[in-house]
Amino acid sequence: MTSLLFERSWPYIGSVVVLAVWWYGLGHPFPSKPDALMGASGTVAAVFVGFLGTAKAIVLGLTSSAAFKRLKSTGYANVLFSYLYEALFSGVIFLAVAVVGFFLPENKPQSWFSIIWFLTGVASLLLYVRVTGLLFRLIKQA
């Protein structure tokens, strides 16, 4: 496996692994009244999306730097922008899932929803970590 393939896929593989550990290893705990959890999830997702939108603007501001020019000449600028897109999109999806969580009936647990919420939350976090790590390396070299 090449390092680029690993870099592209580890957040998704990690999300599935963490989901499996949560489901099978921990017994998939989920609160019976998740309103506070959904509110906190929405806040976290909004912070992710806000930071990543700002990070995109910072990256665009670095286009004249030597580090970004190297990224552009090697073709990795497009990879970075695709990572930013994936992280932003996953944050918006996680935010939408958190909003949907407010409208689920409270009288019976929704296992399908807890799986979707957990998976989108972990994926958003791991995609955010991937982009943030790359951005800090880029800024360090700029």
How far the first Cα of the chain sits from its last, in Å, is 29
- Please give the tally of structural domains in the chain: 1
pLDDT for position 142: 61
Average pLDDT of every residue of the chain? 89
Burial of residue 79 (number of CB atoms within 10 Å: 0-12, 13-18, 19+): middle
Residue 124 within a domain: yes
**Residue 52 counted as domain residue:** yes
Residue 85 domain-assigned (yes or no): yes
Is 16 part of a structural domain of the chain? no
**Interval 102-140: pLDDT, tens:** 888 877 768 899 999 999 999 999 999 999 998 888 777
- Residue 19 placed within a domain: no
pTM for the full predicted model: 0.89
Query: Considering the domain boundaries, does residue 131 fall inside one?
Result: yes
Q: Give the separation between CA 129 and CA 110, rounded to whole angstroms.
A: 29
Q: What's the longest Cα–Cα distance across the chain? A: 58
